Amino acid sequence: MTVPQQLTDRYQLGEILGFGGMSEVHRARDLRLHRDVAIKILRADLARDPNFSQRFRREAKHTAALNHPSIVAVYDTGEAQTPNGKLPFLVMEYVDGITVGKLIQRQGALPPQHALAVIADVCTALEFSHSRGIVHRDIKPANIMITPAGTVKVMDFGIARAMNATTGDRLTATSAVVGTAQYFSPEQARGQEVDARTDVYSLGCVLYEMLTGQALFTGDTPLSVAYQHVREQPVPPSQRRAGLSPDIDAVVLKALAKKPEKRYQSAAEMRADLLRVSRGNAPAASATPAQDTDEVSDTDGPRTLQMPVQSARTGSRRWLIAGAVAAVALLVFAGVFVVGVMNRVQVPDVHGLTQQEALSRLQEQGLSPQLETRPDGSVEAGRVIDTDPATGAAVSSGSEITVNMSTGPEQRRVPDVSRLAYSEAVQTLRDAGFENVRRQPQASPAAELDRVVGTIPAAQQDVATSNEIVILVGSGPSAREVPDVTGQSVQQATQNLDTSGFTTILQADADSVLPAGQVAGTDPPAGASVASDAPVTLKVSRGNQITMPDLRGLFYADAVAQLQALGFTGPLLKGPDIPEAVAGRDQRARVVQQDPAPGTGVNRDGTITVNYGS
C-alpha cells in the first residue's frame, strides 16, 4: 500500500522525518491553516491488522487528551483512501529540534545542569499525563526532543496505556513485555502491571545515560538487558563519570530503585529533587539508599509467573525458597529469551539502493529505519552507504536501523591561493581536501610570472572534494597584435584595445586632418606585435590640419584661392625657380614643386612652400 502525496484535501506530504516501530512520520503542510505539521502514518504493511490499527487510534486518543506545552500536540486524525484500503494517520505539532538520543550520540555525556533541567521538564510532562491517567511506558532518549530555543517535548505515546484501562482496552496480554529493553522498568520486564512509577524508572535510565554518556545496562540480547534491570544493582553515575556529586547519585539511584515503592512515587516528586540539586541544595533522596532487592510482594500486580510467599521456618526451608526463586527467574527469562530469539531477524543488504527501496526492504523485515545523511565520494547522492547495525547482523524485530544516505562527495570551499607559488598552492588545496589538481598556464603581468593568478572553480566557491581544481599559473605577458582603431572615438578605441588584451592604454594629442577627438593612430602602430602589458598610446586628433591639395600646374593666384577655400590661413612662400630646361617651357610661372607634398596633412596656420617654373 503506497502512501499518497496528499492526505484528504487538506494535508500535502513532504519529506520523511523518521520511522517508528509501526509508523512513518512526514513533514507536511496544512493547506487550510497554512502551517507546517508532522503527520504520523501507520505503516502500510500493518494498516490491515486490526490490532495495530486499534493501537494507532489509541495513541491518537491518549495524546489528544494531553494538552501540555512539553507534550507534542495532536491536531487531527483521519484515514486516507488508497487503492488498497484505508490508511490511518495522525496530525501532530511539527517540532524543529534534536532528540536527546541524537544529542548523546554527538556530544556524549551532557553537562549535569543541562541534563537535570531537561529531565525536570520531562517530569512536568509526565506528571500531567499521569494526572490524566496515562502512563507513557516507552520513555527513552529518542522520544524526548529539544528545540533550538531549549523547549523540551515528549513524543510518541504509541504504547501508552490508561492506568484504569479495562482488559479489553489494554490490547496486550498481561504477560507481554512492552517498551524498549534498555529503559525497561523491572515490572515491565516481568510483564506486570505498570503505573506512574514505571515512567519514573525509565526516566532515571535516560538521566543516567545523559550524565554518563552510557546506557545503564547493556547486553548482547534484550534478555540479558532485561535480566539486569530486574536483578543487577546500578553502578552510581559518579563511578562512570568523575565530577558528579553524591546528590546527583542519590536522585538517579532513587529513580532506579527495583521496587516501585522505593522510587519516587510521582514525577512531581522527582522533579522537586532535581530542582533542589540544580540549585545546590540537598535532595530529599538519601545519599546512601537502603539495599534494593528484587523481592516480589503480595501487592504486586499481575506478573508473568506468580511466586507464592512462604515463611522461613528452618534453614533448609530458606534454601528451598532460594532455589525456587532461582528456578522461577530462570523460567521467566528463558521464556523471554525464546521469544527474543524467535523475533530476531537479519539486517538485509541495502547498500546502493534508493531511499524508498531501502526503507521498503527494511520495513518488510519488520525493522524500523532511521535516516541519517553524510557525504561520500564513492556512493551516488540519494543512495544508501551502509547501515548500523551492519548488513547481516542479527537484531530483534522492530529494532531501529540507522540508514546512512549519501549526499554525494563532500562539499568544501576552495581556498584563495592567488600569488602563491604552484607547489604552495597544491599543498594548500590538499590541506583543504582537494587532491585532484592540475596546472594550466595563464598570461599574466610580468610581476606574476610563475605565480598563481587564480583557480577554476574560483576561490570561495563550494565544490565537491572529488572535483578537479585547475591552478592557473602566470606565464608572463603574451604578445598581441595592435588593432587598427584609426577614426574611432577614444572610448571605442580604448574598449577595443582592452578586448584585445592590452592593459595599459595612454592618450596623447596629435596634429591630424581627422575631426577633433577621433583617434588618428596608435603608438606602437596598428599591426605591431606587442606584449599585452606594454603601453599603447592613442594619438587623439586636434582637428587642426587640412589635406594638402595638389598645386602643381597652377598659377600663384589659383593656388592661393584653392588653399584659402580649404581653410588654410598660413603663408604661401615662394621657393627658388625651377629652370625651364628642367620644368619645361609650358610650366613658366606655374607651380612645379610643393612642400608639403599632395595628400599629406598640414596645419591650417602652417607654412607651404612652392617652386615655379622660370
Feature table: binding site for ATP: 40
**Chain center to CA of 236:** 38
Q: Which residues are annotated as a binding site?
A: 40
Nearest to 592 by CA among 608, 575, 612: 612
Q: What are phi and psi for residue 74, nearest 5 degrees? A: -105, 125
> Could you tell me the three cell numbers for 459?
576561490
**Distance of alpha carbon 356 from alpha carbon 379, whole angstroms:** 16
HEC string of 255-292?
HCCCCHHHCCCCHHHHHHHHHHHHCCCCCCCCCCCCCC
The residue from 30, 36, 45, 138 that is catalytic is 138
**Distance of alpha carbon 471 from alpha carbon 482, whole angstroms:** 29
Q: What are phi and psi for residue 97, nearest 5 degrees? A: 180, -160
> Could you tell me the three cell numbers for 448?
606574476
CB half-sphere exposure, 204, CA atoms < 13 A: 35
HEC string of 451-520?
EEEEEECCCCCEEECCCCEEEEEECCCCEEECCCCCCCEHHHHHHHHHHCCCCEEEEEEECCCCCCCEEE
**Distance of alpha carbon 99 from alpha carbon 145, whole angstroms:** 4
**Distance of alpha carbon 323 from alpha carbon 102, whole angstroms:** 44
**Distance of alpha carbon 350 from alpha carbon 364, whole angstroms:** 12
**Distance of alpha carbon 546 from alpha carbon 489, whole angstroms:** 20
Q: Residues 6 or more apart from 196 whose CB is under 8 A from it?
A: 126, 130, 135, 163, 265, 266, 267
**Chain center to CA of 331:** 50
CB half-sphere exposure, 27, CA atoms < 13 A: 9
The residue type at 212: T
**Distance of alpha carbon 158 from alpha carbon 23, whole angstroms:** 10
Does the annotation mark 138 as catalytic? yes
CB half-sphere exposure, 595, CA atoms < 13 A: 6
Dmax (CA) of the chain: 170
Contact 333, 226 (CB under 8 A): yes
Mind telling me the catalytic residues? 138
